[in-house]
């Protein structure tokens, strides 16, 4: 008999949150490896197409699928009392989840995705409700928070925590052999207008402010045919906007991005691509910019971090100011709208004074 597994993307506790193509890609990827070997249900607290949210006009998506989350104002925790901002819980109301648990259970396992370390209160809330409504279900945590703060994550009471990208402990715990060639379980959504892809894992750089090397390890391309198959699945489900979650999408483009985009152009996929995880401006050439625009890129986020040469050298020399200017020039010349190009900068870093 197949195990019954609930997938949960928790609510967010924070001062601000906005849906820039935010999907629980790691969670869906793990479930995809177990496709047809388990019975799945998905509860995504941040699903803005959920009936409770979809009827609210103020939360409607823009032309690229972005938008505001449903949220409620809550008291600031003691450690944040000095910050003069409203604190909020972003996501569907808690009672919708507890009703879902009661109606759709019993579950054998509950997989919970974690992202930002300081969002752990949402994870804690999920575990509390599962323990109350589905006490026999085993809670399994994975993702960034578990990887970066494993001891703290253990305090939340999960039955199993999986740090890092090695999933062997999970397969042993479940007693199931995964099919690693399967795409993410996007069909778990009742409605879907935004999807996510990763053509690579990890990053070849080692910037001092970044956690990616600790989470994903060394840079490793994924098979292009796997990514193309996943894009086709998203298209079949009606997705029009796809965000790349790669941390080094433009690295070694001849091996990864260029073959993928050539296939997109060949298939006339008609999908809008976005790059919220930031592109490395150093690798934006005239030819690559033209191919990206031709293949359907609509928004371009560049990881600039700082215009201070001292800062740039001190933190890893990932990109310099002249490289940013050059990249923007290539993108605009290729036909990108200037208003669609954004450069990220870091604020609040302990060494910010050198800027």
CA distance 111 to 7: 5
SS3 74: strand
Dmax (CA) for the chain in angstroms is 61
CA angle 331, 332, 333 (to 5 degrees): 90
Burial of 175 (0-12, 13-18, 19+ CB in 10 A): exposed
CA distance 4 to 112: 14
Residue 204 has pLDDT above 80, yes or no: yes
Instruction: Give the pLDDT score at 205.
Output: 81
Contact call for residues 114 and 141 (beta carbons, < 8 A)? yes
Instruction: Give the pLDDT score at 354.
Output: 55
Q: Where are the beta strands (DSSP E) in 61-143?
A: 71-74, 87-90, 109-114, 138-143
Question: Across-strand partners of 274?
Answer: 243
CA distance 233 to 243: 15
Residue 231 has pLDDT above 60, yes or no: yes
Neighbouring residues of 313: CB distance < 8 A, sequence distance ≥ 6:
none
User: Comparing 122-136, 202-216, 266-280, 307-321, which segment has the lowest mean pLDDT?
Assistant: 307-321
Residue 184 neighbours by CB distance under 10 Å: 25
Nearest to 14 by CA among 96, 156, 119: 119
- Over residues 157-203, the pLDDT tens digits come to 999 999 988 999 999 999 999 999 999 999 999 999 999 999 999 88
With a pLDDT cut of 90, the percent of the chain lying above it is: 78
CA angle 10, 247, 174 (to 5 degrees): 45
- Over residues 50-77, the pLDDT tens digits come to 999 988 888 899 999 999 999 999 999 9
CA 12 to mean position of chain CA atoms = 14
- Over residues 103-155, the pLDDT tens digits come to 998 999 999 999 999 999 999 999 999 999 999 999 999 999 999 999 999 99
Contact call for residues 71 and 102 (beta carbons, < 8 A)? no
H/E element holding 324? helix 321-334
Q: Residue ranges of the alpha helices (H) in 167-298?
A: 168-174, 212-216, 224-236, 257-267, 286-295
- Over residues 12-65, the pLDDT tens digits come to 999 999 999 999 999 999 999 999 999 999 999 999 999 999 888 888 999 999
Residues across the chain? 355
H/E element holding 151? helix 150-154
């Amino acid at each position: 008999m197949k195990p019954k597994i609930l997938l949960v993307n928790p609510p967010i506790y924070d001062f601000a949150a906005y849906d820039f193509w935010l999907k629980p890609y790691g969670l869906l990827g793990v479930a995809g490896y177990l496709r047809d070997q388990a019975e799945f249900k998905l509860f995504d607290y941040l699903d803005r197409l959920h009936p409770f949210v979809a009827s609210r006009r103020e939360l409607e998506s823009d032309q690229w699928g972005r938008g505001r989350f449903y949220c409620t104002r809550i008291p600031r925790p003691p450690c944040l009392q000095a910050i003069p901002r409203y604190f909020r819980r972003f996501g569907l109301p808690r009672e919708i989840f507890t009703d879902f648990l009661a109606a759709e259970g019993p579950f054998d396992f509950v997989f919970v995705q974690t992202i930002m370390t300081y969002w752990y209160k949402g994870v804690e809330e999920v575990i509390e409700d599962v323990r109350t409504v589905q006490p026999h279900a085993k809670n399994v945590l994975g993702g960034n928070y578990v990887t970066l703060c494993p001891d703290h994550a253990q305090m939340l009471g999960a039955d199993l925590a999986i740090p890092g990208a090695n999933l062997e402990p999970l397969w042993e715990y479940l007693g199931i052999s995964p099919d690693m060639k399967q795409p993410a379980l996007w069909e778990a959504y009742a409605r879907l207008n935004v999807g996510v892809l990763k053509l690579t894992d990890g990053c070849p750089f080692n910037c001092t402010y970044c956690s990616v090397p600790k989470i994903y390890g060394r840079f490793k391309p994924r098979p292009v045919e796997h990514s193309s198959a996943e894009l086709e699945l998203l298209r079949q489900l009606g997705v029009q906007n796809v965000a790349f979650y790669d941390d080094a999408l433009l690295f070694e483009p001849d091996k990864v991005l260029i073959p993928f985009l050539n296939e997109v152009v060949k298939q006339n996929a008609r999908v809008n691509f976005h790059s919220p995880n930031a592109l490395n401006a150093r690798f934006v050439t005239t030819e690559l910019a033209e191919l990206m625009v031709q293949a359907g890129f609509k928004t371009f986020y560049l990881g600039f971090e700082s215009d201070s040469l001292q800062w740039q050298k001190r933190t890893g020399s990932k990109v310099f100011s002249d490289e940013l200017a050059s990249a923007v020039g290539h993108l605009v010349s290729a036909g990108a709208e200037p208003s669609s190009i954004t450069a990220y900068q870091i604020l609040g870093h302990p060494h910010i004074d050198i800027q």
